[in-house]
Structure 1
Amino acid sequence: MTWEDPYLRHVAAVIAEHGHAVQYVGGDPTMGEPPFAYTVGLHTRPGRAYELAFAGGGPDLSTKVLNSLAIGLADRGVEPTDGLEIGGLLQRGLGLRLRMVSRPEDLGVIHAIYGTTPPVWQALWPDRNDRFPGDPHYNLPATAQPLL
């Protein structure tokens, strides 16, 4: 694979070295666009036909969560499904809940490198009462963790 864009060459090098890369998108608070991150290249690894995404965190937290989730799913031999909860990946032992990203084509670096976009699963994090977006009494604003 050859790309004119030096950034895409950099991402491809990270994937070659680590098996996947994490793409962070800082968002634009003035436009109401929140930050989010997603993996690139995970779907090319054996037994994984998907990528992962996380919204509402900074670059370090997003990278840590996505890498931990990728390892956790692989170590447990679990395929992502809608509503799947993976425990123990966050502080205080809190879990994450997976949901399918509705517009994976918006995660442009995946398509730019591979020419296609596999399914992408968003990892949702709970509020202080262990409730997730969509649960009754979930008490964080939608802007804290937008659904991708």
Structure 2
Amino acid sequence: MKNDPVDPRAEAARIVKQFGHAVVCLPDSQGRHLAYTVGLSDRPGRGHELALTGQLSQTAGIVLNGTIDELILDGLVPSEDLVLTILSRLPVRFRRVDTSRFEVTHRSGRRPAVWQVLLPDANGSYPGDPSYQVAFIQPLL
């Protein structure tokens, strides 16, 4: 029926089947999100998932999908020293997440690598840089 509640896992599985991955957003008390991909690590050459913090859900989806598109187009995988320009103008960096603190398990039982996508502040500094301005917060995972 049209008003039946949507099962989030079933919806993510449907999206993964259709598009190859899904972006899941979990809001915090300020309406910001932890957003992460599901299904990306199933793609050939993509043994990882991506995560993004501190953004609104629509922004998070645009950034993560733009990052995936650019990584695939350029034949790249995330690394600590990679700066990738997405959406024609936005430079992003990557930080490997210590997944021992999180429940990150693939349905096969393996633990895929997780890379946090970092957005710069107005001065071009990234979370974790000493000069990073916290005008908008991106907690490091």
Report the TM-score range of the alignment, normalised by the length of the smaller protein: 0.7 to 0.9
Deviation (angstroms), 1:12: 1.0
Deviation (angstroms), 1:136: 3.2
* Residue identity matched to 1:16: K
C-alpha spacing 1:90/1:136, structure 2 compared with 1 (3 Å): farther
Normalising to structure 1: TM-score of the pair? 0.80
Deviation (angstroms), 1:94: 2.9
Q: Does 1:66 align with 2:64?
A: yes
Contact 1:34 1:146 in 2 (8 A): no
Contact 2:32 2:57 in 1 (8 A): no
- SS for the counterpart of 1:111 is coil
Deviation (angstroms), 1:50: 0.6
Contact 1:15 1:21 in 2 (8 A): yes
Q: Does 1:95 align with 2:91?
A: yes
Gaps of 5+ in 2: 1-5
* Residue identity matched to 2:116: Q
Contact 2:32 2:55 in 1 (8 A): no
Question: Aligned ranges for residues 8-47 of structure 1 at < 5 Å?
Answer: 8-29=9-30, 35-47=33-45
Deviation (angstroms), 1:135: 2.1
* Residue identity matched to 1:145: Q
Deviation (angstroms), 1:104: 6.5
Q: 1:130 aligns with which of 117, 124, 127?
A: 124
4+ runs of 1 displaced by more than 4 Å? none
Distance 2:100 2:74 in 1: 25
Alignment correspondent of 2:3: none
Deviation (angstroms), 1:34: 5.6
Deviation (angstroms), 1:24: 0.3
- The RMSD of aligned alpha carbons is 2.5
**Residues 3-51 of structure 1, C-alpha deviations (whole Å, 9 max, x = no match):** xx9432221111001100001010234xxx9621000000101111111
Normalising to structure 2: TM-score of the pair? 0.84
* Residue identity matched to 1:15: V
Return the structure number with greater relative CO, CA threshold 8 A, min gap 6: 1
Distance 2:81 2:100 in 1: 18
C-alpha spacing 1:114/1:34, structure 2 compared with 1 (3 Å): farther
Bigger proportion of residues as helix: 1
Contact 1:19 1:41 in 2 (8 A): yes
